[in-house]
A and B are shown apart, each in its own frame.
Chain A
């Protein structure tokens, strides 16, 4: 089965259909689009795409599995959040955060996901995670093992691969020796063309990108999933802001194994035909770069 292939694999995050979902598109439509692309993985956002989250009915869960089977799509990544500022009067403490994590571990496990995109609360404009993250992630590790899920914070522009944040995560992984906490790399960190000069706080002042693709190499063993972020695909199947050729070469040459989830972040979001065409262009590009037949 294509899904069991080792190497970088193509998938789609249902996030890409933001603004369509629930309006002119439902979950099965997303599966149909993914199947059309010959992609084999799906990323959902728990708080968006699971009906009646966090308490889906058994019927909904059965439907989920039926869709995965019918369209030959693997549950690739489960997006969830630790909503640290859920309460007005205080930041969630470690125990409250842990409870939130465990609820998602159970649900992800029930839906067949082994990789989680775990979004942590931040405290500043360079996206530094909440101060107690080490404490509650450490408490969560035995539960992650029990439910067979890997928590992965997302490394997202303007965060660089060479940064204190990534160093801190790697240090945590190495000190605990855990296989249940890793990284999700969003390809936006490699963005090297900035239309309208739009930059983010904390980016290099000389105009260079946050990160370079070769910087992935020492991190690959900790990366369980990537966001194939894209902003604009041209008609000749090139992403005009992010160096896909170099990124996919690094992943392929180093035998990285995991899903690259298409995440469309460009204009005209929610416009049915437009977003679909952008994703199709991106998958033509990725198939070519991966050398898929």
Chain B
């Protein structure tokens, strides 16, 4: 089961490569909408941790076990990010984050074809920045 908050406590940790080197950090988010959508319809936003911005284009999302850049997601039309499974957001940062509290923030948008384009389109998103999801979380490892 998922936590009610969009940003999930479980899964917040530093990312290690096969040699055990810390290459970044990761956290999980649940889908905020009432239905899942094809990956091509999502628009990942920037990640902000403790005031430092990590641009969306430099992050990846792991959905159903497969890791995608935002550009790669645009091409995936037959795979959904559902409402009952969290996606893992990965951010590259040599050495990762320190143990302790961090203020984590992320935003994302998604295209919904049955919502008027005047409020739901890439043009509309550029006009109206997304309200980010935020959570203060503890990193242990």
Contact surface of A with B, Cβ cutoff 8 Å? 15, 18-19, 21-24, 45, 47-48, 51-54, 81-88, 119-125, 127, 130, 270
Which residues does chain A contribute within 8 Å of B37, judged by CB atoms?
47, 83
Partner of B40, one of A23, A47, A88, A121: A88
Q: Is B4 an interface residue (CB 8 A)?
A: yes
CB distance from A52 to the nearest CB of B (A): 8
A23 pairs with B77, CB closer than 8 A? no
Contact surface of B with A, Cβ cutoff 8 Å? 1-4, 30, 34-38, 40-41, 74, 77-78, 80, 82-84, 111, 113-119, 121-122
B3 pairs with A23, CB closer than 8 A? yes
B36 pairs with A53, CB closer than 8 A? yes
B118 pairs with A84, CB closer than 8 A? no
Residues of B contacting A: mostly:
loop
Partner of A21, one of B3, B78, B84, B114: B84
Return 5 A-B CB contacts under 8 Å, by A number: A47-B37, A83-B38, A85-B111, A120-B113, A127-B114
Which residues does chain B contribute within 8 Å of A54, judged by CB atoms?
78, 80
Which residues does chain B contribute within 8 Å of A82, judged by CB atoms?
113
B36 pairs with A121, CB closer than 8 A? no
CB distance from B80 to the nearest CB of A (A): 6
Instruction: Report how far A270 CA is from B118 CA in the complex, Å.
Output: 28
Instruction: Report how far A23 CA is from B6 CA in the complex, Å.
Output: 11
B114 pairs with A81, CB closer than 8 A? yes
